[in-house]
Structure 1
């Protein structure tokens, strides 16, 4: 092994895969921004948007249903009217936005894909195509959006806050990506460094090892500074909140990166899903706090021109299973957040929830195609006409959901 090989291997072992760039341009809080959040694993929308006004909900979920709204009960659903409530884990985040008319929820939404396969359904949504046709992996819908806007003379690019480019940003040109999951501080861990130095002390490879360590420390310091600059000195937070603040700082201070994407995992709750507490409640709480932090970090002016779309590949069975969890379902609830959305309401087609109205006797149906919801948002944000929307979301039926 020569010097170049050793340094390259050292960098690879410490995870320094740099596939992104930044081009800073003057700040412009009036530029429209779009962030799409994919909840991988299929989150249970019926636990976020609780149909407490429908008795069948309690019959179908004897162990994991949330209590009916009761101000004296901190574990109860938070009433938002029309027989629905929000999970108490989002009391200080999504519920607050909803009350401030900065959040719209679209129940009975999703794609028409019936595979109930995580990978198939995620690909369908990220590609933005008709699930009844063979999927074309040449481009994702956010890539097509960015390409269309650039053709119209807009100086912008997309930014994927993921370790790799996923189908949503696939295309002929490179879209930058950056992983904000917090690996930077571990790249030059003192304990690992001392162990590596001791291992090769007095050996023929010692010079190469020392040079490799020095290179790793230099790159780590540069990246650590980049991360701190991106968060604008904000205090570190755990999990998604930290990621969300960094995303907001980058999107705010680099208006060229006006279209963002991030994915959040851990939503496949087949076993011990919990009700007001547990795995799902923790995930919802972390997600909600992260999105609130994203809005706070952007600031009032930038938030007013930002739209956040939260979606998941499909919902979960309306009935709980034998393991006090839920299985792969169909219809779900999308979140639309932003400082200028027409919020504080449920959007799209609704229905009574009872045993007879379940899809295939097990799931919530899809009345509101996610592509129609996205089309409504994109047409209002960017002034896209029918032809342009068809380029981004081919074959989608565009409706006015009254979101923007």
Structure 2
């Protein structure tokens, strides 16, 4: 017996597919998925085992039935000319949030932002806790080595807009791609906003070719608006997440070797860990607090030491930390003094911290003047050893001025 993650009732858990069974049955081939939690690829349909029978096979199943109908009418096709898409935006929003929430739990993502949306997903609340904005776009076919590669797969992705540049803090910014159809859910921390600022809609349109749904649930999926194709998307992933693509595009799962379709050979330089998953932690050792950052994929150039907290630790000469605190989130940049244009870490999307957690973390780094880096995220880091102690260059607190250490 355990508590259902949706209704929070104590009950016997059942298996809930991340990608509903109708998608797996209609797929051209069996899926291959990367699990950040397991740090490896898994073959077959990913599932979670924390949903009760009533939620799984009644409420959520009805949402899947609606999405299955949309799939047969729209999503099964590759878009080659403009398509007028019509839907019930309420049911589509609930279904997308459900799939994204399941994906966060299955693949080791951050599920916290989705928790307040559960009553809305289940249909118990008529409105979400924050205004949800739907966007759509087209992933067009690619020409690769003299042949066309069609977008024939399903994927979940987290958008990481530059919140500081846009002047907002996102609550949810996730996308589900079904073959050619890119479906994006956006919500902001500011609950008072009923209309998205124009700079956000322009950024989504110019960057990804995403267009907002009408209030009635209509949108034109127009391939001429597309900013991304199947192969260029993988090029971007290779740049930001090279560990996803194995050696030369070969991925080993058990005793099988899979070749990733249209694997891009080029690897572009950029910020060393721009798209990394991180956690901010305050650790108490001998009644003294230490401010720490845990990395899902640790930057090798900052692997300077290996020692435990509470011992004498030399500060890094390879990095300096710039910390910015806004209303809900904290942002960290790790500057490389030898290459200012290519930071070790450039956090475009902040990490949400409660006021209490921020105060603890802040008091810890103010006491030492250092941020300690370790490998691993969440409550179970892979090692408790400190690999780098980064001195703090500047701290900026939104609406509270700037202080230097």
Which one has the bigger strand percentage? 2
- TM-score, normalised relative to structure 1: 0.26
Higher RCO (CA-CA < 8 Å; seq separation 6+): 1
- TM-score, normalised relative to structure 2: 0.26
